[in-house]
Amino acid sequence: MSLQFDPVWSWPLLLLVFLAVVLITRNVYPRRIAHLQDSRRRLLIVLRYAVLVLLLLLSLRPSIVVTDSSSRQGVMYVLLDASRSMQTQDAAGGSRREAVLRLVEQIQPQLNELAESVEIRLRDFSDLLNPVETPALESDGAMTALGQILELTAEEAGRDSVPAILLLSDGRQAAAGEADVDPVGTARRLGRLQHPVYSVGFGSAQSGAAGVDLALDDLDVAREVFQGNSLPIRVRLKAAGVAGQSVTLKVLLENRSGLQDGESGPLEAASNAGAAGAVTEVIPETVDTELVVPLEVVPEQEGELKLVVEAQPIPGEARTTNNRVETIIRVRRGGIRVACFDVIRSEQKWLRKINDSTRIQLDFHAVRGGTLGGKNEIPDRYFVPGAYDAFLIGDVPASVFRPQQLLDLARCCSQGAGLMMIGGRENFGQGGYSQTGIASLLPVELPQRNQHVDTALNMLPSRDGLSHYVLQIAATEQNRERWESLPPLTGGNVLTPRRNSLAQVLAVSSEGMPLLIGQNTGSNRVLAFAGDTTWQWAMQGFEEEHLRFWRQVILWLTRKETDDSQAVWIQAGPRDNSDRFLREHLRRLSPRSSRSARNSPQLSEQQ
């Protein structure tokens, strides 16, 4: 310890100024206080000289220098990011963590050289500091709390000299709660304490700002669907830093079995009941991808249900609260699902318009015809009992189905599903259906070769069909006239009702040729239709009649033509005094009516 001076001016100038002030004080000041008593004059002169000495000492700026002769070393920290985001495969040659380890290996000779003068401390970190000797490739930390890590480093260093803190990370703060400390402010405070922080970033420039993150938003789904019908779902996925990785999205539905109104049920993986798409996987192609993902679900319970779309978290993702979106859907009872198998032809374009109704869902499966008929692959999900309420078979031979599928189709019909075969050249008997399990269901004969009429055929209700539900396309008194105004079909199959059956001819041509034959058994309903060009009606201005006919076909096949399961709401307004005034007025006009009303109070109230 030593005393040192640092005068404001040079020593000679400072002494010269001091002597000049002393001389002035000695010669001038005593005369100004000569009128005072001797004791007071002496006290003031001493105080004046004391102030001059104090000013001199302050001008010299004295200081005490303490020299520390200890040999304590400084500490250099090398901090390695071990959070999950370091597993992202966007660094040169692999993941970010691999790039960090390669850099540590490259600078190891320099670290060994520095270790002769400072202590090197190697630490892994996520939200806490972990001393390591040889860093491992694994990195599974839940958070990247850069600010908190710098504070913990300063606490560990204590009063040690820290010439440098080397931070190797992807540079993204991903922390929550108390661990979410501002890293920039912390680094500045360490800099003022002579603990400089040097950072080295890893990962691509695009993903460095966003990190590894999955986010779902813009859930597009109908708020109302009928029970058993397919509900299409569209959701927007934003994926950052996951290029080339598989992302799984799934649909969850609330299970309200046995619950009362107002009670919440558990979320369970959605059952598709024949439809595909409740779980899907996508692979983003870039580090910053935004795409719309289609999904599909088939609600089986009725009522108001919570629907959730969820993206499963991926390694390196710190924030998962934005991985799901949810909404409430209303599932109504009475939905109808129809499976249609046919080749691509004009009739299908117009039949698809039935799907405009939220109650009826027509799932069309295109079948290859001709020489490609043997390459058809019809999924078995169509033939699960209960999955579909009715089946429409167009111009396709029986060979496009596997034998077991036709047996399953017959089993579905025996349990109540409807069946209709539409006119064509490769179905009915010529299509080989006489040797299948559904032959006994069809209400027509199945000869080995189909007879086909290629002339115009006006479709008219038969005597029995005029009052049949399927053929009611107008008011009763206008129904036959409306059928007569429809454009003719451009041909059709020659159908013969099955002998000794309950087959009923519902529609005929002008010449009496059967065009629509139905059969109502105890378990199911079946229709055989000779035509396949009803789209001519829609093309020539009768789209409403066309749509009504086909909707009624489906409702009749599924026994829903008299469905009264839908809720009926009646709103009754309060009765005012006008009815009482009217009764009193009638009594005055008609004494007999008044007496009758008095003798029958119940009748009076009803009037």
Least confident range from 67-71, 295-299, 533-537: namely 67-71
- pLDDT reported for residue 605: 36
Residue carrying structure tokens 């999950």: 84
Band (594; pLDDT cuts 50, 70, 90): very low
pLDDT tens digits for range 128-172: 999 998 899 888 887 888 999 999 999 998 888 899 999 999 887
Residue intervals in the chain for CATH 3.40.50.880: 336-557
pLDDT tens digits for range 225-242: 887 778 889 999 988 877
Nearest to 456 by CA among 515, 378, 388: 515
Structure tokens at 33: 């206080």
Residue 365, SS3? strand
- Alpha-carbon distance of 148 to 181, in angstroms, equals 6
- pLDDT reported for residue 209: 43
- Alpha-carbon distance of 490 to 423, in angstroms, equals 11
Structure tokens at 337: 């699902």
When pLDDT is averaged across residues 515-529 and rounded to a whole number, the result is 91
- Alpha-carbon distance of 358 to 480, in angstroms, equals 30
When pLDDT is averaged across residues 112-123 and rounded to a whole number, the result is 91
- pLDDT reported for residue 357: 59
Q: Which helix (H) or strand (E) holds 78?
A: strand 74-81
Nearest to 302 by CA among 330, 328, 326: 330
- Alpha-carbon distance of 357 to 336, in angstroms, equals 10
Q: Is the pLDDT of residue 574 over 60?
A: no
pLDDT tens digits for range 377-392: 888 989 998 889 999 9
Eight-state DSSP code of residue 203: S
When pLDDT is averaged across residues 48-56 and rounded to a whole number, the result is 89
Q: Which helix (H) or strand (E) holds 76?
A: strand 74-81
Q: What is the pTM of this model?
A: 0.51
- Cβ neighbours for 223, distance < 8 A, ≥ 6 positions apart: 327, 328, 329, 330
- pLDDT reported for residue 606: 36
Q: Is the pLDDT of residue 340 over 90?
A: yes
Instruction: Assign a CATH topology to domain 210-330.
Output: Immunoglobulin-like (2.60.40)
Nearest to 85 by CA among 238, 216, 207, 199: 207
- pLDDT reported for residue 421: 95
pLDDT tens digits for range 1-28: 778 888 888 888 888 988 988 888 888 8
Best CATH choice for the domain 74-203 from the list 3.90.1580.10, 3.40.50.410, 1.20.1630.10, 3.10.440.10: 3.40.50.410
Band (370; pLDDT cuts 50, 70, 90): low
CA terminus-to-terminus distance, the chain: 120
- pLDDT reported for residue 141: 84
Write the burial class of residue 104 (CB in 10 Å: 0-12 exposed, 13-18 middle, 19+ buried): middle
Q: Is the pLDDT of residue 198 over 80?
A: yes
- pLDDT reported for residue 360: 85
Residue 197, SS3? strand
Residue intervals in the chain for CATH 2.60.40.10: 210-330
- pLDDT reported for residue 598: 40
Residue 374, SS3? helix
In terms of average pLDDT, the best of 28-32, 344-348, 503-507 is 503-507
Band (358; pLDDT cuts 50, 70, 90): low
Nearest to 207 by CA among 323, 286, 297: 286
- Alpha-carbon distance of 537 to 540, in angstroms, equals 5
Band (372; pLDDT cuts 50, 70, 90): low
pLDDT tens digits for range 487-521: 999 999 999 999 988 899 999 999 999 999 999 87
The CATH code of domain 336-557 reads 3.40.50.880
Please compute Rg for the chain using Cα positions. Answer: 46
When pLDDT is averaged across residues 360-389 and rounded to a whole number, the result is 81
- Cβ neighbours for 177, distance < 8 A, ≥ 6 positions apart: none
Phi, psi of 267 (to 5 degrees): -85, 130
- pLDDT reported for residue 298: 84
- pLDDT reported for residue 369: 67
Residue intervals in the chain for CATH 3.40.50.410: 74-203
Q: Which helix (H) or strand (E) holds 164?
A: strand 164-169
User: CA-based angle 513:514:520, to the nearest 5?
Assistant: 170
Nearest to 508 by CA among 474, 458, 570, 546: 458
Name the percent of the chain lying above pLDDT 90.
37
In DSSP terms, which residues pair with 563 in a beta bridge? Answer: none
Nearest to 552 by CA among 501, 518, 523: 518
Q: Is the pLDDT of residue 64 over 70?
A: yes
Q: Which helix (H) or strand (E) holds 538?
A: helix 535-539
3-state secondary structure 85-151: HHHCCCECCECHHHHHHHHHHHCHHHHHHHCCCEEEEEEEECCCEEECCCCCCCCCECCECHHHHHH
- On average, the pLDDT of the chain sits at 83
- pLDDT reported for residue 593: 41
Does residue 221 contact residue 231 with C-beta atoms inside 8 Å?
yes
Least confident range from 27-31, 404-408, 591-595: namely 591-595
Band (84; pLDDT cuts 50, 70, 90): confident
- pLDDT reported for residue 569: 39
Residue 59, SS3? helix
Nearest to 338 by CA among 351, 323, 327, 329: 351
Q: Is the pLDDT of residue 580 over 70?
A: no
Does residue 525 contact residue 391 with C-beta atoms inside 8 Å?
no
